[in-house]
């Protein structure tokens, strides 16, 4: 039974693996370490000056606010519209391009950090799965031994059952974490589209 428990836990990790060559990527979603501007922006080409967005405190503060997933998307989009509406006429275009560039760089970096974290998490899970299988095998051998200490068998059985349960809960958590890069990408696209719509006069 214990061997089956550990094997089930190990299979749980494999079930998450997506097709690809990266052994540290456990998600069903395809791994895309970084986004390109073309994936989220279909407006006019951004000028090189837009890369100085971090020097504009108002733009930088807005980006941090609307990028946060705790802020409802509709509310974030409204904040962007209100911010653009308050820009002086001569600075409107520059402000919007800085906003798009900043949103892309800020959220793309956050997304890449999460992807790296997922890979580290999965690597630890695989190591733990191996340890669980090893312990289950040793415990099976101990239980069939004629000199087995019943108290030791019971204690190790309880410990293995607990560690397997924790492992399976971590596998379940990973399924939710795997969705975060996609959620960030979708939010980034929606926020950038809001700026593009304002630029287009929609």
Evaluate if pTM is beyond 0.85.
Answer: no
pLDDT of 21: 60
Q: Band the pLDDT of 153: cuts 50, 70, 90.
A: confident
Instruction: With CA atoms as reference, report the closest residue to 24 among 133, 130, 117.
Output: 117
| Average confidence score pLDDT of the chain | 87
Question: At CA 153, angle to CA 150 and CA 158, rounded to 5?
Answer: 125
Q: Band the pLDDT of 59: cuts 50, 70, 90.
A: very high
User: For residues 4 and 115, which has the higher predicted lDDT (pLDDT)?
Assistant: 115
Burial level of 21, CB count in 10 A (0-12/13-18/19+)? exposed
pLDDT of 34: 93
Residue 23 has pLDDT above 60, yes or no: yes
CA distance 92 to 43: 15
CA distance 16 to 47: 41
Chain centroid, CA 25 distance in Å: 11
Q: Band the pLDDT of 20: cuts 50, 70, 90.
A: low
Q: Band the pLDDT of 8: cuts 50, 70, 90.
A: very low
pLDDT of 172: 82
User: For residues 195 and 22, which has the higher predicted lDDT (pLDDT)?
Assistant: 195
CA distance 28 to 20: 10
Per-residue pLDDT of 97-114, as tens digits, reads 999 999 999 999 999 999
pLDDT of 17: 47
Per-residue pLDDT of 106-137, as tens digits, reads 999 999 999 999 988 888 888 888 999 999 99
Looking at 21-148, list the stretches that DSSP marks H as alpha helix, in order from N- to C-terminal side.
Answer: 37-40, 57-67, 73-85, 92-144
Burial level of 115, CB count in 10 A (0-12/13-18/19+)? buried
Which runs of E-coded beta strand occur in the chain? none
pLDDT of 170: 82
Residue 130 CA neighbour count, 13 Å, CB half: 5
CA Rg value for the chain? 25
Name the DSSP class of 52.
G
Domain ranges in the chain are 2-14+56-199
Q: Band the pLDDT of 13: cuts 50, 70, 90.
A: very low
Considering the chain, what percentage of its residues have pLDDT values greater than 90?
55
Instruction: With CA atoms as reference, report the closest residue to 134 among 2, 1, 26.
Output: 2
């Amino acid at each position: 039974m214990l061997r089956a428990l550990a094997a089930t836990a190990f299979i749980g990790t494999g079930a998450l693996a997506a097709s690809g060559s990266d052994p540290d990527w456990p998600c069903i979603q395809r791994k895309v370490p970084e986004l390109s501007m073309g994936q989220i922006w279909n407006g006019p080409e951004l000028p090189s000056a837009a890369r100085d967005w971090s020097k504009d405190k108002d733009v930088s503060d807005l980006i941090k606010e609307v990028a946060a997933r705790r802020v409802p998307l509709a509310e974030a989009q409204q904040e962007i519209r209100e911010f653009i509406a308050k820009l002086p006429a001569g600075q409107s275009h520059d402000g919007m391009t800085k906003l798009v560039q900043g949103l892309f760089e800020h959220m793309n970096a956050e997304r890449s950090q999460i992807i790296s974290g997922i890979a580290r998490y999965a690597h630890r899970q695989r190591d733990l799965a191996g340890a669980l299988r090893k312990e289950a095998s040793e415990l099976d051998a101990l239980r069939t031994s004629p000199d087995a200490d019943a108290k030791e068998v019971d204690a190790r059985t309880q410990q293995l059952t607990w560690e397997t349960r924790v492992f399976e809960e971590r596998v379940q958590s990973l399924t939710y974490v795997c969705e975060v890069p996609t959620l960030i990408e979708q939010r980034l696209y929606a926020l950038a589209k809001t700026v593009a719509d304002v630029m287009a006069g929609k």
